[in-house]
A = this chain, B = another copy of it.
Amino acid sequence: MTQHLELVQSLRQAGHRLTPQRESVLAVIADSHEHLSAEEILARVRKRYPYLNKSAVYRSLELLTELGLVTLTDLGHGRVEYELHRHPHHHHLVCRKCKSVQQIDHRLFQNLQKKLESDFGFRADLDHFAIFGTCRKCSTRTAKNPKRHSH
**Residue contact A123 to B116, C-beta cutoff 8 Å:** no
In whole angstroms, how far apart are the Cα atoms of A135 and B122 in the complex? 5
Contact present for A133 and B125 (CB under 8 Å): yes
Q: Are B122 and A133 interface neighbours, CB within 8 A?
A: yes
The CA-CA distance from A149 to B16 in the complex, in Å, is 11
A121 to B, closest residue via Cβ: B136
A111-B111, A146-B13, A149-B66 known; A120 and B93 CB under 8 Å?
yes
Query: B65 to A96, Cβ gap below 8 A?
Result: yes
Task: Give the residues in chain B near A123, CB-CB below 8 Å.
Answer: 133-134, 139
Contact A96 B125 (CB under 8 A): yes
Q: How many residues of A contact B (CB 8 A)?
A: 36
Contacts of A3 in B (CB 8 A): none
Would you call B146 and A122 a contact (CB within 8 A)? no
Q: Which residue of B lies closest to A97 (CB)?
A: B66
What CA separation (Å) do A85 and B151 show in the bound complex?
23
Residue among B121, B131, B135 making CB contact with A139, cutoff 8 Å: B121
Output the least CB separation between A102 and chain B (Å).
7
A122 lies within 8 A of B147 (CB): no
8 intermolecular pairs with C-beta atoms under 8 Å apart: A14-B142, A66-B149, A108-B115, A116-B133, A122-B131, A122-B136, A123-B139, A124-B132
A residues touching B (Cβ–Cβ < 8 Å)?
13-15, 65-66, 74, 93, 95-97, 102, 104, 108-109, 111-112, 115-116, 120-126, 131-136, 139, 142, 146-147, 149
